[in-house]
Amino acid sequence: MIRFKLKELIALKEREEGRRIGLQEIADATDIHRTTLSKLQNPNGYKTNTDNLDKLCRYFECELSDLAEYEQG
Residue 35 lies in a domain: yes
Structural domain range at position 15: 2-64
Domain count, the chain: 1
Q: What's the predicted TM-score (pTM) here? A: 0.90
Residue 55 lies in a domain: yes
The one-letter amino acid code at 4 reads: F
For residue 10, give the CATH number of its domain: 1.10.260.40
* Pair 31, 55: CB distance under 8 Å: yes
Residue 11 lies in a domain: yes
Helix (H, G, I), strand (E, B) or coil at 69: strand
Residue 53 lies in a domain: yes
Confidence of residue 33 (pLDDT cuts 50, 70, 90): very high
Residue 51 lies in a domain: yes
Query: What average pLDDT does the structure give for the chain?
Result: 94
Residue 59 lies in a domain: yes
